[in-house]
Amino acid sequence: MRGSSDISNLRQVIFMTMLDVKKNYIIDEAAGQFSKRPIKDVTIRDIANAAGVGEATVYRYFGTKAELVIACAEKLEKEVSAIFIEKEETVPAYKAIERFFNAYLKIFCEKLYLYRFLYEFDAFVVSEGITGLESYADSIDVYKKAFTDAYSKGLKDGSVKRIDDIDLFYYSATHAILSLCKKLSTEEVVIRQDRLIRKQKEVETLINLVLGALKNDQ
């Protein structure tokens, strides 16, 4: 038979679990709203209505809109990392690098809203003067580790070329690809050339240039 303290602890656990469920639900609904419209145009009232709760409930979990936006960014980052980080350790080194960079293209083709959100998120952070994004920044480091681990294995098996400054290469390549993806995700068709050029092919071409600079064909 449970004692009163055990029952009290169980109730506390259930209560906290319910709070987490509701909080995550609000984050999901907010992310859905941000994927449809620019972050700056979405209000707490919009999010509350989408979640079927009052505005006061949203503010109970998130003191400001900025806190909720950051929570959405962290949620979407986990969604992205599942695509980028290859779980299969037996994949050959160059194949792992190839899959890593092609993840940008996969997201562009299947989850374009993620790039649109990133574009809006960057602008929102700057406009609101948001700081304290250390945990979010730390979570992004896993991508570099995945790449450098595969690159180190590639050097050993001879499938990749030796790059003098691999850190500079990584950041230059990933920033270029990410910037292109964010730009194309928000770019409207203005002139006829925009219709002729398949945006997907632009991303694919840039990725192939990066892979070509890495692959050792000898």
Q: What DSSP letter does each residue of 10-53 carry, written as one string?
A: HHHHHHHHHHHHHHHHHHHHHHHHHHHS-GGG--HHHHHHHHTS
pLDDT at 44 over 70: yes
**Does 17 score more than 60 pLDDT?**
yes
- Give all domains of the chain, ordered by start, each with its CATH number: 1-63 (1.10.10.60), 74-214 (1.10.357)
For residues 73-101, average pLDDT: 84
Q: Is the distance from CB of 31 to CB of 75 less than 8 angstroms?
A: yes
Question: What is residue 103's predicted lDDT score, i.e. its pLDDT?
Answer: 94
Q: What is the pLDDT of residue 22?
A: 87
User: Torsions phi, psi of 203, nearest 5?
Assistant: -65, -45
Phi, psi of 43 (to 5 degrees): -100, 165
Q: Per-residue pLDDT tens for 156-200?
A: 999 999 999 999 999 999 999 999 999 998 876 555 555 545 889
- Is 98 within 8 Å of 32 (Cβ atoms)? no
Distance CA 155, CA 149 (A): 10
Read off the pTM.
0.80
